[in-house]
Amino acid sequence: MDPSTPLTIFELRALRPEALDVLDRQPPEGLFGPLAASLAGLHVEADFAFLFFVQEVDLSPFLAAQPLLELRTVHRLRYDQWQDGLEGRPLKVGPLTVRPCLRAVEVPAGQDELGGRPPERRPQRAARRDEPLDELLIDPGLAFGYGGHPTTKTCLEFLLRLYRPGPLPTGPPPATALDLGCGTGILALAAVRLGAAEALGVDHSHLAADAARRNVRLNRLEGRVKIERGWAQTWSAHPAELLTANLPLFVLRDLAALEAFKGRRCLIVSGLLQEEGAAFLDLLAPAFRVVDAVRSDRWASYLLQASTKV
C-alpha cells in the first residue's frame, strides 16, 4: 500500500460476541454495498472490529443494519502513520535485519530484478535467492507485526537466543516451529531464516493470513513456511518443537488449558501485560520452566523450556 494512502478506520465494539459473526459470514459486497470497493481490510480482535477504508465513507447504512455493533471511534490517518512511520527504517535485532516494505510488489518466481523503471518509481523488490540469511522483508499490509512493537521484538530476541550459539541450556535449535497468532508471519519467517527447517503460522484474521502469505512469497520461503487461517486453539496441537505465541491473555489462557499446547520443547510467549505474567506462568508449571523473562514497556515476554524432555 502506498505510504501516503489516506485511511479511515472504524473501530466497532460488539455488544454481544455473536454480533461479529456477520463480518465473517458475509462477503464485503453484501455487507457494505458499493463501499466494499474501498475496503482495504477488516480485523476482528476480541470484542472489537476494525474496518479499514482507503477513503472517507459513510458507514451509517451498515451501522443501522447492525444494531449490535457500536461505533467507538473513527481514526483518520495516512497508512505510514498507522504503521508508525516505519518506511525506510530497517529494524535491527542483533544480527537480524527486518526491512519494512510498504509498497512491496511480488516478483514472479525466477525473476529477481525489476529493471526498466526509473529508480524513484521502482517498487521495492522481493528477496533474491541469495538474500543474506539474517534479513527479512516484511510488508505488513494492515496486519500486526513489522517487528517494532516490544512484544514482537522480544520474541525475535528470544529466537536469536535459540538459533544462535550461546550459553542457553535449551538444547539443539528447534527444527520445527508453530507460530500461533502469526500476524504478518514475522516470527515464523524469522525462525526459518535463523535455522528452523520449517514453520507453520496461524492467524484467524483474513487480513493477517493474507499479509503473512505475501511475506512468505516476498522472502521466497514458500517451501518452508506455511500459513493457515484459523484459530490458535484449533491449531495448538500441530506438532512442532518450538511454539511462539504473541497473543492476548485470554487466548493464551485457553491455549494453556490444552494438553497439546504443552507438548513441545520450547515456548516463546509474549503479549502479556507485566501484571499478568506470574499468574500465567503458574498455568504452565511444572511442565515448563522459565529460561528467560523480559519486561519491556508494559509487556512481559518469556522463553520457556519443557521441564522434562517431550
Ligand X SMILES: C[S@@+](CC[C@H](N)C(=O)[O-])C[C@H]1O[C@@H](n2cnc3c(N)ncnc32)[C@H](O)[C@@H]1O
Residues contributing to the site for ligand X (CB under 6 A): 45, 143-145, 151-152, 155, 179, 181-183, 186-187, 202-205, 208, 231-232, 246-247, 251, 271
Name the burial class of residue 173, with classes exposed (0-12), middle (13-18) and buried (19+) by CB atoms within 10 angstroms of its CB: buried
Residue 149 vs 265, nearer CB to ligand X: 149
Other CB atoms within 10 Å distance of the CB of residue 100:
25
Q: How far is the CB of 110 from ligand X (least distance, A)?
A: 30
Residue 271 vs 277, nearer CB to ligand X: 271
Residue 231 vs 280, nearer CB to ligand X: 231
Copy the grid coordinates of residue 295: 519486561
Q: How far is the CB of 116 from ligand X (least distance, A)?
A: 35
Question: Sign of dihedral through CA atoms 272, 278, 282, 285?
Answer: positive
Copy the grid coordinates of residue 135: 534479513
Residues 211-232 as b or e (16 or more Cβ within 10 Å = b): bbbbbbbbbbbeebbbbbbeeb
Task: Identify the helix (H) or strand (E) that includes residue 292.
Answer: strand 288-296
Q: How far is the CB of 212 from ligand X (least distance, A)?
A: 9
Q: How far is the CB of 98 from ligand X (least distance, A)?
A: 10
Strand partners, 307: none
Question: Any idea what DSSP says for residue 58?
Answer: -
Residue 79 vs 146, nearer CB to ligand X: 146
**How far is residue 64 from each of residues 26, 31, 59, 70, measured CA to CA in Å?**
16, 12, 9, 10
Please count the residues of the chain: 310
For residues 270 and 247, what is the distance between their CA atoms, to the nearest angstrom?
A: 6
SS3 assignment, position 89 = coil
For residues 302 and 195, what is the distance between their CA atoms, to the nearest angstrom?
A: 20
Residue 107 vs 188, nearer CB to ligand X: 188
Q: Torsion-angle region of residue 218: left (phi > 0), alpha (psi -120 to 50) or beta?
A: alpha
Residue 107 vs 162, nearer CB to ligand X: 162
Nearest to 219 by CA among 189, 177, 251, 246: 189
Residue 200 vs 251, nearer CB to ligand X: 251
Q: How far is the CB of 112 from ligand X (least distance, A)?
A: 28
Residue 100 vs 145, nearer CB to ligand X: 145
Residue 104 vs 155, nearer CB to ligand X: 155
For residues 52 and 303, what is the distance between their CA atoms, to the nearest angstrom?
A: 34
